[in-house]
């Protein structure tokens, strides 16, 4: 059973969003997503100051069998891509909600967001997809 922390928000495309105290948001891929991809060998994170819209491909996660885009669930400006993933892409597999975060964004004023789900709603989505 996938780990779905209750304090985060989720997207249909298996990204998670954490709201940080300084008003920025942290984004990563869920435990379910990392498991489906398999062992990651490379992660491409966005450059600082890059402007992204909702649904823009903002990062790329590459496993031995596939390379997938990670879509930004929030519009805003990138404040940081996770610098640790260049040397340690497996952090996304081992700690998807912690050391494996992909990027931090400062949401634009009145920023549009994708339809975000609660942990309970995301759990339900996973059950529906599995069925």
Partner 1 sequence: MAFIPHTPADVEAMLATIGVSSIEQLFDEIPANLRVKSLNGVPVGLNEMQVGRLMSERARADGRPLCFIGAGAYEHHIPSAVWAITTRGEFYSAYTPYQAEASQGTLQLIYEYQSMIASLTGMDVSNASLYDGASAVAEASLMAVRANRKSKSLRVLVPRTVNPIYRRVAVATAGNQGVRFEEVAFSPESGLTSLDALKKYEGEDITAVVVQQPNFFGQLEDVDAITDWAHSHGIFVIAVVNPTSLALLRPPGEWGTQGKGADIVVGDGQPLGVPLSSGGPYFGFMTTRTEYVRQMPGRIVGRTVDLNGRPGFTLTLQAREQHIRRAKATSNICTNQGLLVTAATIYMSLMGSTGLERTAAASHARAKDLVAALTAVKGVRRAFAGPFFHETVLLFDRPVAPILTSLASRGILGGLDLSDSFPELGYALLVCATETKSLSDINSYVTALGDAMQSAVRAA
Binding residues vs partner 1 (CB under 8 A): 41-42, 44, 47, 62-67, 69
In the complex, minimum distance from the CB of residue 20 to partner 1, in angstroms, rounded to a whole number: 25
In the complex, minimum distance from the CB of residue 23 to partner 1, in angstroms, rounded to a whole number: 27
Q: Which residues contact 15 (CB under 8 A, 6 or more apart)?
A: 27, 28, 29, 30, 33, 70, 71, 73
- Alpha carbon distance 15, 33 (integer Å): 8
In the complex, minimum distance from the CB of residue 92 to partner 1, in angstroms, rounded to a whole number: 15
Residue reference for tokens 């789900």? 117
């Amino acid at each position: 059973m996938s780990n779905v922390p209750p304090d985060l928000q989720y997207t249909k495309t298996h990204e998670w969003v954490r709201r940080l105290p300084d008003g920025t948001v942290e984004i990563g891929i869920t435990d379910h997503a990392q498991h489906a991809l398999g062992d990651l060998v490379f992660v491409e994170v966005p450059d600082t100051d890059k402007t992204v819209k909702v649904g823009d491909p903002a990062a790329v996660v590459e496993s031995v069998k596939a390379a997938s885009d990670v879509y930004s669930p929030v519009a805003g400006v990138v404040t940081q891509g996770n610098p640790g993933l260049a040397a340690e892409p497996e952090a996304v597999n081992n700690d998807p909600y912690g050391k494996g975060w992909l990027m931090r964004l400062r949401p634009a004023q009145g920023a549009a967001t994708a339809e975000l789900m609660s942990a309970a709603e995301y759990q339900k989505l996973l059950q529906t997809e599995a069925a």
